[in-house]
Amino acid sequence: MTSAVRLPLRSSTFDVVGTLEIGCLPRQRERVGEPLLIDLGENGGAGGDVEAAVQLLEEAEYSYRLTVSHRRVMVEPQEMFNPTDIGGLEGRLRPGRSTGTVSVIVHDEELAEVGTCEFEVRSRKLDYLSEYRWMLQRIAAEAAEILQSHFASSSLGVFRPDTIGTAETLYQRFAFIQSLLSSAEFEGALQVVLNQPHHEYRAVTRTHDPALGARSSRTLARQLFAPGPRQPLAAGCSVGGVTTLPLTVSESHNVESYDTVPNRFVRFALEHWRDLAEDVATVMRSKQTPATRRGLREATELREQLEGILTAGLFREVGALEMFPAANTVLQGRSGYREVLRAFLQSEAAAVVDWAGQDTVFAAGQRDVATLYEYWVFFELIRLVESCSGFQLKKQNLFRVSGDKLSLELRRGRSVVLSAYGVRRNRVVELQLWFNRQFRRGSESWTEPLRPDCSLRISPAGEDNLDNTTWIHFDAKYRVQALAEIFRSDAPDPEWDDAIGGALAPLSDDLLKMHAYRDAIRRTSGAFVLYPGRDAEPVRHSEYHEILPGLGAFVLRPTATGEAEESSALSLGRFIEDVLDHVASQGTDQQRANYWTRRTYREHSGQRLATGVRLRKPPADTTVLLGFTKSAGHQAWIGQAGLYNMRADGRRGGIGLTSPELAADYLCLYGSDSDDLSVFELLGSFVLRTGAELQAAGYPEPRGTLYCCVVLGAEVDQEGLAVTRVRQIARRGLLPELWGSPRVTTWSDLHAPESRV
The better pLDDT of the pair 452, 278 is held by: 452
Q: Which of 489-498, 660-669, 738-747 has the lowest mean pLDDT?
A: 489-498
Is the pLDDT assigned to residue 282 strictly greater than 80?
yes
Cα dist. 724→253, 329, 626 in Å?
Answer: 120, 94, 13
H-only helix segments in 643-736: 691-696, 723-731
The amino acid sitting at 149 is S
Cα dist. 181→174, 230, 342, 600, 686 in Å?
Answer: 11, 61, 11, 60, 83
Is the pLDDT assigned to residue 298 strictly greater than 60?
yes
Query: Which is nearest to 560 in space by CA: 49, 130, 48, 128?
Result: 130
What mean pLDDT is reported for the chain? 83
Q: Which of 127-136, 168-177, 392-401, 450-459 has the lowest mean pLDDT?
A: 168-177
Read off the pLDDT of each residue in 265-276 and give the average, rounded to a whole number: 90
CATH 2.60.40-classified regions of the chain:
4-124
Separation of alpha carbons 131 and 14, rounded Å: 35
Q: What's the confidence (pLDDT) of residue 297? A: 80
Q: What's the confidence (pLDDT) of residue 506? A: 45
Read off the pLDDT of each residue in 215-222 and give the average, rounded to a whole number: 76
- Residue 399 makes CB contacts below 8 A (sequence gap 6+) with 146, 147, 150, 151, 353, 406, 407, 408, 409
Write the secondary structure of 618-639 as one string of H (helix), E (strand) and C (coil): CHHHCEEEEEEECCHHHHHHHH
Chain-centroid distance of CA 29 in Å reads 35
Q: Which of 5-14, 163-172, 420-429, 650-659 has the lowest mean pLDDT?
A: 163-172
pLDDT in tens, 74-105: 999 888 999 999 999 999 999 887 777 888 99
Q: What's the confidence (pLDDT) of residue 467? A: 64
Is the pLDDT assigned to residue 498 strictly greater than 50?
no
Read off the pLDDT of each residue in 641-662 and give the average, rounded to a whole number: 93
Write out the H or E segment, with its range, that includes residue 379. helix 369-386
Name the CATH topology of 4-124: Immunoglobulin-like (2.60.40)
H-only helix segments in 462-616: 494-500, 509-520, 566-584, 589-603
Q: Which CATH architecture has domain 619-756?
A: Roll (3.10)
Cα dist. 75→17, 56, 79, 102, 105 in Å?
Answer: 15, 17, 9, 12, 6
Q: What's the confidence (pLDDT) of residue 500? A: 41
Q: Is 651:704 a contact under the CB 8 Å cutoff?
A: yes
Read off the pLDDT of each residue in 544-560 and give the average, rounded to a whole number: 92
**Which of the four pLDDT bands, split at 50, 70 and 90, describes residue 216?**
confident
Q: What's the confidence (pLDDT) of residue 680? A: 96
pLDDT in tens, 181-191: 877 888 899 99
Pairing of strands 454-460, 470-476: antiparallel
Q: Is 530:477 a contact under the CB 8 Å cutoff?
A: yes
Task: Classify residue 643 as exposed, middle or buried by CB count within 10 Å of its CB (0-12, 13-18, 19+).
Answer: buried
Write out the H or E segment, with its range, that includes residue 298. helix 290-310
Read off the pLDDT of each residue in 241-245 and give the average, rounded to a whole number: 75
Rounded percentage of the chain residues whose pLDDT exceeds 90: 42
Read off the pLDDT of each residue in 61-86 and give the average, rounded to a whole number: 93
Is the pLDDT assigned to residue 272 strictly greater than 80?
yes
Q: What's the confidence (pLDDT) of residue 673? A: 82
Q: What's the confidence (pLDDT) of residue 453? A: 95
Separation of alpha carbons 410 and 407, rounded Å: 9
Is the pLDDT assigned to residue 166 strictly greater than 60?
no
Read off the pLDDT of each residue in 209-227 and give the average, rounded to a whole number: 77
Q: Is the bond leading into 532 cis (omega within 30 degrees of zero)?
A: no
**Which of the four pLDDT bands, split at 50, 70 and 90, describes residue 365?**
low
Is the pLDDT assigned to residue 464 strictly greater than 80?
no
Q: Is 224:246 a contact under the CB 8 Å cutoff?
A: yes
pLDDT in tens, 1-58: 688 999 999 998 889 999 999 999 987 777 666 788 988 875 454 444 456 789 998 8
| Beta bridge pairs of residue 540 | 552
Q: What's the confidence (pLDDT) of residue 499? A: 41
Q: What's the confidence (pLDDT) of residue 156? A: 46
> 294: helix, coil or strand?
helix
Pairing of strands 550-555, 539-542: antiparallel
Q: What's the confidence (pLDDT) of residue 30? A: 72
Query: Which is nearest to 574 in space by CA: 606, 543, 540, 599?
Result: 540
The conformation of residue 702, written as its DSSP 8-state character, comes to -
| 0.75 exceeded by pTM | no
Q: What's the confidence (pLDDT) of residue 474? A: 97
The better pLDDT of the pair 475, 504 is held by: 475
Other CB atoms within a 10 A radius of the CB of residue 607 amount to 11
- Residue 529 makes CB contacts below 8 A (sequence gap 6+) with 474, 475, 477, 480, 486, 510, 511, 514, 552, 553, 554
The amino acid sitting at 7 is L
Write out the H or E segment, with its range, that includes residue 279. helix 261-285
Query: Which is nearest to 547 in space by CA: 571, 520, 580, 587?
Result: 580
The better pLDDT of the pair 52, 686 is held by: 686
CATH 3.10.590-classified regions of the chain:
619-756
Is the pLDDT assigned to residue 685 strictly greater than 60?
yes
Q: What's the confidence (pLDDT) of residue 727? A: 93
pLDDT in tens, 321-338: 888 887 889 988 899 998
**Which of the four pLDDT bands, split at 50, 70 and 90, describes residue 757?**
very low
Q: What's the confidence (pLDDT) of residue 463? A: 60
Q: What's the confidence (pLDDT) of residue 364? A: 46
> 689: helix, coil or strand?
strand
Q: Is the dihedral of CA 732, 738, 739, 745 positive or negative?
A: negative
Q: What's the confidence (pLDDT) of residue 153? A: 47
Q: What's the confidence (pLDDT) of residue 465? A: 57
The amino acid sitting at 279 is D
List, in sequence order, every beta strand (DSSP E) within 49-132. 54-57, 62-67, 74-76, 81-83, 90-93, 100-107, 113-122
Q: Is the dihedral of CA 73, 74, 75, 76 positive or negative?
A: negative
